[in-house]
Amino acid sequence: NAGVTQTPKFQVLKTGQSMTLQCAQDMNHEYMSWYRQDPGMGLRLIHYSVGAGITDQGEVPNGYNVSRSTTEDFPLRLLSAAPSQTSVYFCASRVLAGGRELFFGEGSRLTVL
Amino acid sequence: GESVGLHLPTLSVQEGDNSIINCAYSNSASDYFIWYKQESGKGPQFIIDIRSNMDKRQGQRVTVLLNKTVKHLSLQIAATQPGDSAVYFCAESRGVGGNTPLVFGKGTRLSVIA
């Protein structure tokens, strides 16, 4: 069982470049989300989705775009990377009904120079 | 290695002792509270959750206590082991219903002294 798969695991960008962090889950979870993790800041919610075609903003959405065309995939796009977006990014998913247990990917470490 | 977790509150515990990690939350309408464990270089892993209509829940070697009066959540780990060394996060589901996102606290680093 693959669970939540994030690619790439590591990426270095120059300021102004664009890129997409990929997230895929094979558990048929309706809910998917993206967090960023910075030293001393815990995990902060960027965007989330409760199903295909539905997305919403979290705590720190500026500079990031998302789309949800399928249940399985939830890519995170940086249109013009900035050094402030240097972070570790985590994708997570769960079922909508029942508890709130999130299943996390292994993370993507992004450095913007 | 993993650099996240620097400047976090740290709890140092002797192996075999019990650990208590505390968390304050802000939203009275949150319907679920969850504890996660994050080991270096990995994604957070679910430990235990508790619904807002409960005040205590027990798992294997862990107990979560919820005090809604003072908006306080705690995680107790019995007989702490070296493998428990990690960063622990509390999270709250801010609102009612499955559509609400999880918001995380800043985390506490647990260091187990062998």
- What integer pLDDT is reported at residue B5 of this predicted model? 41
Token pair of B12 as six digits: 């140092």
Question: Do A39 and B45 count as a contact with CB atoms less than 8 A apart?
Answer: no
Q: Which of residues 7-46 of B touch A (CB under 8 A)?
A: 7-8, 32, 34, 36, 41-46
Task: Provide the mean pLDDT of chain B.
Answer: 89
Q: Give the pLDDT confidence of B43-65 residue by residue, as tens digits.
A: 999 999 999 999 999 999 999 99
pLDDT above 70: percentage of residues in chain B: 93
8 Å CB contact between A94 and A104:
no
Q: Scan for tokens 């990031």, then name that residue.
A: A64
- What integer pLDDT is reported at residue B21 of this predicted model? 96
- What integer pLDDT is reported at residue A62 of this predicted model? 96
- What integer pLDDT is reported at residue B6 of this predicted model? 47
Name chain A contacts of B32, Cβ cutoff 8 Å: 99-100
Check whether B95 has a pLDDT greater than 60: yes
Inter-chain contacts counted by CB atoms under 8 A, chains A and B: 77
> E-strand spans in chain B?
10-14, 19-24, 32-38, 45-51, 56-58, 62-67, 72-77, 86-93, 102-104, 108-113
Residue of chain B with shortest Cα separation from A38: B4
Token pair of B3 as six digits: 């650099």
Asked if A10 reaches chain B (Cβ–Cβ under 8 Å), the answer is: no
Q: Which of A39, A40, A42 is the closest to B89 by Cβ?
A: A42
Question: Do A38 and B8 count as a contact with CB atoms less than 8 A apart?
Answer: no
Asked if B54 reaches chain A (Cβ–Cβ under 8 Å), the answer is: no
Residue of chain A with shortest Cα separation from B93: A100
Distance from CA of A16 to the nearest CA of B (A): 24
- What integer pLDDT is reported at residue B99 of this predicted model? 79
- What integer pLDDT is reported at residue A54 of this predicted model? 95
Sign, CA torsion A12/A14/A20/A21? positive
Check whether A99 has a pLDDT greater than 80: no
SS3 state at A70: coil
- The phi, psi pair for A37, rounded to 5°, reads -130, 120
Check whether B2 has a pLDDT greater than 50: no
Average pLDDT score over residue span A52-75: 96
Of A31-45, A60-74, A79-93, the range with the lowest mean pLDDT is A31-45
Check whether B16 has a pLDDT greater than 80: yes
Of A7-16, A34-43, A73-82, B90-99, the range with the lowest mean pLDDT is B90-99
Asked if A99 reaches chain B (Cβ–Cβ under 8 Å), the answer is: yes
Q: Could you give the CA distance from residue B84 to residue B20 in angstroms, rounded to a whole number?
A: 12
Check whether A32 has a pLDDT greater than 70: yes
Q: Residue B106 half-sphere exposure, CB side, CA atoms within 13 Å?
A: 9
> E-strand spans in chain A?
4-7, 10-13, 19-25, 31-38, 42-51, 54-57, 64-66, 76-78, 87-94, 103-104, 108-112
Token pair of A9 as six digits: 């695991």
Average pLDDT score over residue span B87-105: 86
- What integer pLDDT is reported at residue B79 of this predicted model? 97
Burial class of A28 by CB neighbour count within 10 A (0 to 12, 13 to 18, 19+): exposed
Q: Could you give the CA distance from residue B81 to residue B76 in angstroms, rounded to a whole number?
A: 13
Average pLDDT score over residue span B69-80: 95
- What integer pLDDT is reported at residue B7 of this predicted model? 57
Name chain B contacts of A104, Cβ cutoff 8 Å: 43-45
